[in-house]
């Protein structure tokens, strides 16, 4: 089959800092829309580009209006299901989010404060005012912000507004790592060996660590998201870990209590999705493999896990349900486990909310988890039995971040999306996002751009679809982590399923450096870049000939172009000759034929190199400024990929021929 290749195609005359911009090589697969019927025949499930879910019964009454106490992609995600269910929605937003996608999607919108989260999305008083003024009957908190805040749930209940999530008892019990571990033990859930009380001081921390045996994990009792966590391998690291973790816990959660437990070296992070109702029913909806992480935060997730067998899956699911029932859990929630190489599993924590990675579970089960949460909140019993829950196919999710993956696997990048195209034209692809071209990635909020999900009949197909989707994802204006995501899913260890939570640091001990090109890939890349350059020159010449057609000019025919192309720090001599849409290219003694439609206006270009199909991305052509002359506006665009070094004019200036306007580097 053909293959797809993404690369910021370097013009033959312009070399960029090499190792970062040639992206990735992949093989493609035939893609088609998948429709399937699960193990139960009551509902027909469709895996689409946007949502994997069962249909909705329009005769089932829930709520007239729901306020979504969140922003971005999760707010958009909840609004989509509400629209499907015929429920009106209210969006809240900070002042800088006034033009955000979730605000435009909702039926109503209320500003709850300025940009800082403490003054807007965490501002309970303002949100409660929004609930009252819009007369919303229920609130969906999404994830993060107030989603696991028992005080918020109590305030809603006091005004007869339904919190679409578990009750305050479950939130409190599972939100405290010490209490949740004790409850897990009581419910006969496997727990990590450790100290169940609150560690008083550094001396006690050392004593406990010695009793448990090194290495140990020091963690914040009220923590989450990797904050307040330290691994200690000896007494000195335990003392330092106690000090730093308690300080970080106090600043992040207002609670400096710590616990210590045995550190499971090289574990997998596998979690079980659970769903409970207010009638004592609870289900486990299979597992999600979430081991690819950086700084204790997930990057790539999939469902099911390639590692679990049916017996281990059932044991984990049954223990997760036992814990949910122990706290009368009623909503969607997630029980997280660490799993060692021998498939021993240990309770880590329970998240009493919708998870970021919930779409992969929806894809393999056919359930819409937001829809189920709304039904449960209204008081309906679950519609399904455990035997009804299938595993149909395979789903993979990549978290696309505005981050520089070459710095600590991802340091945040801020800016405006000058160009943005999601690959939803491809079959088996779903994109959950809350942005559009022109959206700002702000310093105030999480830098996640979207969640990219692909579905296939098996893991191989899902991963190949993910490769194609990443290759076809156009993001301009901010640095992003697609290159890292792309390398992870084609890595041989990942494909074989040999993964753990230390995968990134093990595979890239010196940090991520980009895709190392083979000699064949290098030659193909040089050939495509050179052909693209010549195609652009021929197009320019065509326009010049057209403009000067009134005064014919005889120009010599150019048989070939000899180019010097810089890749990394090396200069390559490339000879290109053209014959219609095909270019014959000689690179370092190799001859290649490159064919395309050469639609240079498109950011994505399909190119055939000696029978192998590639997809390249052209970053050139972004509008830099607009000059008005004789009441005509003329757009000046970038001739090559680069950064704006300086701007020598401002809006309204009068400029003359030869004036320097913008410098690129």
Question: The sheet that has 604-609: what strands, in order across it?
Answer: 561-567, 570-579, 582-587, 590-596, 604-609, 612-617
Label the pairing between strands 138-140 and 65-68. Answer: parallel
Report the distance separating Cα 46 and Cα 310, nearest Å: 25
Complete DSSP assignment for 567-629:
ETTEEEEEEEEEETTEEEEEETTEEEEEEE---TTSSEEEEEETTEEEEEE-----EEEEEEE
Find out whether 503 and 296 touch, Cβ atoms under 8 Å.
no
For residue 529, give the nearest of 459, 415, 632, 607 by alpha carbon.
607
CA-wise closest residue to 304 among 394, 223, 403, 186: 394
Distances (CA, A) of 532 to 561, 612, 628, 665: 12, 17, 30, 21
Is 461 labeled as catalytic in the residue annotation?
Answer: no
The token pair at 372 is: 């189920």
Query: CA dihedral in degrees (645, 648, 650, 656; nearest 10)?
Result: -140
Catalytic residue among 289, 349, 357, 362: 349
Distance between CA atoms of 29 and 4, rounded to whole angstroms? 10
Enumerate residues 6+ apart whose C-beta is below 8 A from 176: 221, 222
- How many other C-beta atoms can be found within 10 angstroms of the C-beta atom of residue 249? 23
**What is the spatial distance between Cα 28 and Cα 488, in angstroms, rounded to a whole number?**
17
Q: Which helix (H) or strand (E) holds 461?
A: helix 459-471
Give Cβ neighbours of residue 125 (< 8 Å, ≥ 6 apart): none
Q: Which positions are catalytic? A: 349
């Amino acid at each position: 089959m053909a293959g797809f290749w993404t690369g910021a195609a370097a013009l033959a005359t312009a070399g960029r800092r090499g190792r970062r911009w040639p992206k990735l090589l992949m093989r493609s697969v035939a893609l088609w829309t998948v429709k399937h019927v699960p193990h139960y025949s009551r509902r027909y499930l469709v895996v689409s580009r946007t949502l994997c879910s069962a249909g909705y019964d329009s005769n089932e009454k829930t709520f007239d209006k729901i306020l979504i106490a969140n922003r971005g992609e999760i707010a958009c995600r909840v609004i989509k299901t509400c629209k499907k269910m015929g429920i009106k929605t209210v969006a809240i937003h900070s002042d800088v989010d006034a033009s955000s996608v979730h605000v435009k999607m909702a039926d109503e919108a209320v500003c709850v404060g300025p940009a800082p989260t403490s003054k807007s999305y965490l501002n309970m008083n303002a949100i409660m005012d929004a609930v009252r003024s819009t007369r919303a009957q229920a609130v969906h908190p999404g994830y993060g912000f107030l989603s696991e805040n028992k005080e918020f749930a109590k305030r809603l209940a006091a005004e007869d507004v339904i919190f679409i999530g578990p009750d305050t008892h479950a939130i409190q019990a599972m939100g405290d790592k010490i209490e949740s571990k004790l409850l897990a033990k009581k419910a006969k859930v496997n727990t990590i060996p450790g100290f169940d009380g609150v560690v008083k001081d550094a001396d006690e921390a050392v004593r406990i660590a010695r009793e448990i045996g090194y290495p140990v994990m020091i963690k914040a009792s009220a923590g989450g998201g990797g904050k307040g966590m330290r691994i200690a391998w000896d007494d000195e690291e335990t003392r330092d870990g106690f000090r730093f973790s308690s300080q970080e816990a106090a600043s992040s959660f207002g609670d400096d209590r710590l616990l210590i437990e045995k550190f499971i070296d090289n574990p997998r992070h596998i979690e079980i999705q659970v769903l409970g109702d207010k009638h004592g029913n609870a289900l486990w909806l299979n597992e999600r493999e979430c081991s690819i992480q950086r700084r204790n935060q997930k990057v790539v997730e999939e469902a099911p896990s390639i590692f679990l067998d049916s017996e281990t899956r059932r044991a984990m699911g049954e223990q997760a349900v036992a814990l949910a029932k122990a706290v009368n859990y009623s909503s969607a929630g997630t029980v997280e486990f660490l799993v060692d190489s021998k498939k021993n599993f240990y309770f880590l924590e329970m998240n009493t909310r919708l998870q970021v990675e919930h779409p992969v579970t929806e894809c393999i089960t056919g359930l819409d988890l937001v829809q189920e949460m709304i039904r449960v909140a209204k008081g309906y019993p679950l519609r399904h039995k455990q035997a009804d829950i299938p595993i149909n196919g395979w789903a993979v999710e990549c978290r696309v971040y505005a981050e520089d993956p070459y710095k600590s696997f991802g340091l945040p990048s801020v800016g405006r999306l000058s160009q943005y195209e999601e690959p939803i034209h491809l079959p088996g692809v779903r994109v959950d996002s809350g942005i559009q071209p022109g959206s700002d990635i702000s310093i105030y909020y999480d830098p996640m751009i979207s969640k990219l999900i692909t579905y296939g009949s098996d893991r191989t197909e899902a991963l190949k679809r993910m490769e194609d989707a990443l290759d076809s994802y156009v993001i301009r204006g901010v640095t992003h982590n697609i290159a890292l995501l792309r390398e992870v899913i084609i890595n041989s260890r990942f494909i074989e399923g040999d993964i753990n939570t230390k995968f990134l640091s093990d595979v890239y001990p010196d940090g991520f450096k980009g895709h190392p090109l083979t000699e064949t890939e290098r030659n193909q890349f040089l050939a495509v870049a050179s052909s693209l350059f010549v195609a652009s020159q021929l197009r320019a010449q065509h326009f010049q000939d057209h403009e000067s057609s009134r005064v014919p000019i005889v120009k010599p025919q150019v048989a070939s172009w000899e180019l010097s192309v810089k890749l990394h720090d090396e200069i390559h001599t490339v000879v290109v000759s053209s014959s219609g849409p095909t270019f014959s290219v000689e690179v370092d003694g190799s001859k290649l034929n490159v064919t395309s439609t050469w639609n240079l206006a498109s950011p994505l270009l399909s190119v055939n190199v000696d029978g192998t199909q590639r997809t390249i991305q052209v970053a050139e052509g972004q509008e830099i400024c607009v000059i008005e002359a004789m009441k005509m506006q003329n757009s000046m665009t970038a001739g090559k990929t680069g950064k704006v070094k300086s701007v020598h004019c401002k809006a309204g200036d009068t400029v003359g021929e030869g004036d320097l306007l913008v410098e690129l580097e």
